[in-house]
Amino acid sequence: MASPPESSIDGAERPLSKLLSRVDLDGHNLPPSPAPSSPSVGRRRYALATELVYTETKDQYGASSIPIYQSATFKQTSSAGGQEYDYTRSGNPTRTHLERHLAKIMNANRCLAVGSGMGALDVITRILRPGDEVVTGDDLYGGTNRLLAYLANNQGVVVRHVDTTVVERVREAVTPKTAMVLLETPTNPLIKIVDIPSIARAAHEANPSALVVVDNTMLSPMLCNPLDLGADIVYESGTKYLSGHHDIMAGVIGMNDSALADKMYFTINATGCGLSPNDSFLLLRGVKTLAIRMEKQQANAQRIAEFLENHGFKVRYPGLKSHPQYDLHWTMARGAGAVLSFETGDVGLSERIVEAARLWGISVSFGCVNSLISMPCRMSHASIDAKTRAERQMPEDIIRLCVGIEDVEDLIDDLSRALVQAGAVTLTLDGFHANQEQQEATTA
Ligand SMILES: Cc1ncc(COP(=O)(O)O)c(C=O)c1O
Ligand SMILES: N[C@@H](CCSC[C@H](N)C(=O)O)C(=O)O
């Protein structure tokens, strides 16, 4: 597993009682559900891997898997309405069950599930007003960058991109008009680490009303709980690790402040972006296998990162001691995740490697059971224009690997063949080594 020896995937070194300290275990702050998944008051709290699987249902027939309430409307018993549910845009028992389960896992008082990760960020950023300022990173997922650019160009929101790996840069950028500090860690695709606790402290000191929002897609609640690190809101794309099979789009938002949660819920009901009953069911099913998938994915990712580094490539992965922010990452996270990137020194060479891979699917996204290979500047981050990419020092040749649960020897074998076929390595008596250009990229 990609972790320092003393770390543990199930968070054993951090008692779950601490992780769950702010969770509303009896569900008073949560919307009602006929099939609550919150644990009973006073019951023993288990390790995170167990809590992921454990749900409590009060289904009338004892269904052990939450039913899909595939219904747009719910009959009322009187003309005054007033039943727990009336219309699925406003609330649905399957979605509520999922949200309660996720709140427990995310160590949040309240979780809301919507139709995609970008949908989650849209709901969050709807609290911004013209003139509000957002301080954010200079290495962000392309879609996040695009939504922020839209808000800047059309809604009068001022967006400041700074190097969020330097706490001081964020502190300098926060003003009385800063409504939001938006962070990603590790960043996608440069795998830079951002110090959530220090930034949250600095941002709140500089402007107590600024909300610190963290995109936790790259780690998932299995490996990191940003709300415990000082964030006000955490969100992530449920399309990735949470669901794990690339068969749904989803987004989740977690927070502890109930007034803030009510504002988010208002937007979800008003705009109709709540997660559908069927996708809520699939996301809940995916969450149950998160621990076992993540454990295997990051063990594979560690092996592959070491394989590439040992063969002379410049690799970015927080499980490698050579990562410049290795220590910082492990103060915040319980694992390194399963996304890594490496450089070849030449765009054409990178294209040949990607196209020579067979087992690694050429695809955007990550967190899925099968392994993917991509060129972010052409694919996931193509919506960031070439000039901005250059200003932000995104290497055009960078290859991103999103590691799945396959047999790791098969993955290394396929990657080795792709590297040889593309002409990226020189064969030696004892194996192969990255060519001269990559060695220069490594030392640059
Ligand atoms: C870091 C990160 N955040 C958010 C998103 C948006 O998620 P979704 O595709 O579910 O809208 C993505 C990918 O799309 C991502 O990589
Ligand atoms: N065409 C899509 C690209 C989605 S990228 C998905 C994922 N976040 C990743 O990093 O691979 C778009 O324009 O959003």
Q: What backbone torsions phi and psi does residue 266 show, to the nearest 5 degrees?
A: -55, -45
State yes or no: is 141 an active-site residue: yes
Q: Domains of the chain: which residue ranges?
A: 16-288, 291-443
Average pLDDT, the chain: 90
d(CA 130, CA 156): 4
Of the given ranges (27-31, 81-85, 105-109, 253-257), which has the lowest mean pLDDT?
Answer: 27-31
Predicted pLDDT at 268: 96
Q: What is the spatial order of strands in the sheet that 314-316 belongs to? A: 314-316, 339-343, 399-402, 372-374, 361-362
Evaluate whether 54 touches 116 at the Cβ level (below 8 Å).
no
143 CA from centroid of ligand 2 (Å):
6
d(CA 350, CA 308): 14
Of the given ranges (51-55, 60-64, 363-367), which has the lowest mean pLDDT?
Answer: 60-64
Could you tell me whether strands 339-343 and 361-362 are parallel, antiparallel, or unpaired per DSSP bridges?
unpaired
With tokens 């690799």, the residue in question is: 315
Predicted pLDDT at 56: 78
Q: What backbone torsions phi and psi does residue 69 show, to the nearest 5 degrees?
A: -80, 80
State yes or no: is 397 an active-site residue: no
Q: Which atom of ligand 1 is nearest to the CA of 251?
A: 10
State yes or no: is 215 an active-site residue: yes
Predicted pLDDT at 439: 52
With tokens 């929002």, the residue in question is: 213
Predicted pLDDT at 68: 96
Could you tell me whether strands 425-428 and 178-184 are parallel, antiparallel, or unpaired per DSSP bridges?
unpaired
Binning pLDDT at 50, 70 and 90, where does residue 107 land?
very high
Can you spell out the DSSP letters for 353-408? HHHH-SSSEE-S--SSSS-EEE-TTTTTTTTS-HHHHHHTT--TT-EEEE--SS-H
* Per-residue pLDDT tens digits for 40-50: 456 678 999 99
Q: What backbone torsions phi and psi does residue 432 show, to the nearest 5 degrees?
A: -150, 165
Give CATH for domain 16-288. 3.40.640.10
Whether the predicted pLDDT of 63 surpasses 90: no
Evaluate whether 354 touches 375 at the Cβ level (below 8 Å).
yes
Catalytic residue selected from 45, 69, 104, 141 = 141
306 CA from centroid of ligand 2 (Å):
27
Which of 285, 305, 309 minimizes the C-alpha distance to 297? 305
- Percent of the chain's residues with pLDDT above 90: 81
Residue nearest to atom 7 of ligand 2 (CA): 365
d(CA 413, CA 157): 49
Tokens found for residue 96: 């509520």
Tokens found for residue 34: 């006929």
Catalytic residue selected from 215, 232, 279, 414 = 215
Evaluate whether 333 touches 402 at the Cβ level (below 8 Å).
no
d(CA 91, CA 268): 10
- Entry pTM: 0.91
Predicted pLDDT at 23: 47
* Per-residue pLDDT tens digits for 64-80: 899 999 999 999 999 99
Terminal Cα-to-Cα distance of the chain (whole angstroms): 29
d(CA 355, CA 20): 45
Q: Which atom of ligand 2 is nearest to the CA of 374?
A: 11
Decide which of 14 and 438 is more confident. Answer: 438
3-state secondary structure 84-108: CCCECCCCCHHHHHHHHHHHHHCCC
Whether the predicted pLDDT of 368 surpasses 50: yes
Q: How many other CB atoms are there within 10 angstroms of residue 120's CB atom?
A: 29
Check: complex ipTM more than 0.95 = yes
Whether the predicted pLDDT of 416 surpasses 90: yes
Give CATH for domain 291-443. 3.90.1150.10
